[in-house]
Structure 1
């Protein structure tokens, strides 16, 4: 006897292979204050969106959430269907795409994060949540760029050498007017030795780029003191948008057969080959206005913007349905043609060689 399954939600099959992991900084991020998993989750969604939502809900944080990765893991639907389903889930209040600004090693990049909520949320809740995430990202960036105090090194007590005898007590001299103070023994003069300058506790990207020059090109081997002196000049390159590879190629390309003074040669190239500063296309922020590090991304076209400018996760062009062509006046009825004359003309053309 056949039994009918009254559960409207499709059961997501267990994957036999591990979930695709996104690159560091990307991937799924679970929103807080979600209700526990229940059998009637996503029951109000259509069949396709309900199936994809159940699969996404089981993904761990950090899993890949791009359309291609989801389409490879879900055999029932292709990329077009997955993209349409993600857009519908964004309108239903289950997910938002956002671009987060990350600064690492003197470089700035934007990563795409997908915030997921099993519980459907409205636009006001998503706006407050994304503003809180933006404030948290701003505080983390400020804490990472704040100068760290140097570590305090406790003073070490002199350690007695093994086998050394303790100093003998000085003989007591009788107190009296005849007692004369002993003349101090001459102190031998020891020439002062130069101590090597220690490397910084938190080396900058410019210092690290200069330190590895000697390993890539022995003719440009620099000491720790040389790297400390040249680090401010190399830091000016990073402020103009170049990376470590660009700086290394500029310093090591076209070397002469012999370099007598590596520090002088590198200093000359740092001053002569510094790249030009590229003009930025962004509007400079007014003083006192913090830089926004989290921008909501349109689920359909990927256009970034503020949360209030993208309700339901869609920008205005994607949210407004495309209008059809403007109605035109009805065309005039076609002029009656002489069918017999037309057929006669066609026959004559067919007879022409």
Structure 2
């Protein structure tokens, strides 16, 4: 009873017209009147960007122009650390949403400008700048006939102080009054150091949804599908469900996948390694296991083993002989030598002692 319940969403659900869906999200859309940012679905539902990258992009897009959006500045604003922020910025830069431009100021200092584009696909077809609107001309007043003047004596004009217009300087009502037309204002141009520069065409941009997809790669085939390879590939595919229960294949699927598995076996792949490469970490739920196996058999094909000529070249390569370690018989010091014996210091000591013994015997 003491827990406060928020019934605002319950009341809002009751006001939604029509039947509510049995599952999935239910949107309660309240239009914003201030402090909002328009985000396209191409960014919010981008299949190649992580959720962290999408959130960082929305955060950058909501900031006013001129705010620092470096790694340390974003890490101070967000709960993510610098490593995750840096990885998100690299993702946005790879898909064309972000670009870092190096610019030189008139003083000679080189700075880095961060450019964010909310729709990089629109840069593929830039729009021509709109022509400057011509200001409307004021319509000239038509001449109105002056009323007939009556002959009356005009009083003398009083003396006019210096700097003030006299009666003779006032415009006559009979002259047509034309308003001065202001010259057309030139369209403001962005300076060369403006951050809004078009991205280079070499950046990978997000293709539009209607772009034609490349044809899938064909299933690999062995150089010669021998009966032994065919039987081994068929046995591997038919026994696959015993190790991975979700990979249950039909007879047609097995017949279509036999050439690809035979190409793996021809290249010396071990069945256990093949099984792990083709069935590990499948998507959930797995609706069409045959298509997943076809994709992995095609994309994860191992390289062919080296031929006879490559093996002969490896056999002719000179081998490096490693001299083994030996233990000195006098000082038990380890040294490298093809045969056991004494180390270099012990050999020099022995040579000195023998030389002195020979000198003593010669003097005697």
- TM category (shorter chain) comes to under 0.3
TM-score (norm 2): 0.27
TM-score (norm 1): 0.28
**Which one has more relative contact order, counting CA pairs under 8 Å at least 6 apart?**
1
